[in-house]
């Protein structure tokens, strides 16, 4: 007789249903900061190139940053947000503009 159906053995194993452990990945806002030197056209180009905005959307966001000090370029998972920040900072540095891009929890 197997241990499984031996009546002398207690069936004292309790099985609980585990809570589903899936959590949505945390999201991050990629933010552009204003400065006094980066040309407006360059910022528009950055927004079109790295954030897939059309010219009019990119111009709106650029003007928002210019007047308000900062603005959101997009919301992404951590890896994507980190890559966007890196791409923008590299591109700005290559063109010797002081443009700053950061990320913050959404």
Q: Of 80 and 102, which CB lies nearer to ligand TYC in the complex structure?
A: 102
Calculate Rg over the CA atoms of the chain.
26
| Least CB distance to ligand TYC at residue 88 (A) | 10
| Least CB distance to ligand TYC at residue 56 (A) | 16
| Least CB distance to ligand TYC at residue 96 (A) | 14
75 contacts 29 by C-beta, under 8 angstroms = yes
101 contacts 91 by C-beta, under 8 angstroms = no
Which positions touch ligand TYC (CB under 6 A)? 32-36, 38-40, 43, 62, 65-66, 99
27 contacts 75 by C-beta, under 8 angstroms = yes
| Least CB distance to ligand TYC at residue 66 (A) | 4
Q: Of 30 and 62, which CB lies nearer to ligand TYC in the complex structure?
A: 62
Q: Of 9 and 40, which CB lies nearer to ligand TYC in the complex structure?
A: 40
Q: Of 9 and 93, which CB lies nearer to ligand TYC in the complex structure?
A: 93
Euclidean distance between CA atoms 56 and 60, whole angstroms: 6
Q: Give the side-chain half-sphere CA count within 13 A for 69.
A: 0
């Amino acid at each position: 007789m197997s241990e499984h159906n031996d009546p002398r053995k207690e069936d004292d194993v309790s099985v609980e249903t585990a809570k589903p452990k899936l959590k949505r990945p945390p999201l991050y806002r990629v933010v552009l900061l204003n400065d006094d030197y980066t040309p407006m056209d360059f910022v528009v180009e950055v927004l079109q190139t790295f954030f897939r905005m059309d010219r009019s959307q990119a111009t709106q966001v650029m003007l928002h940053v210019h007047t308000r000090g900062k603005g959101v370029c997009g919301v992404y998972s951590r890896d994507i947000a980190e890559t966007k920040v890196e791409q923008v900072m590299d591109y700005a540095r290559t063109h010797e503009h002081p443009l700053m891009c950061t990320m913050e929890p959404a």
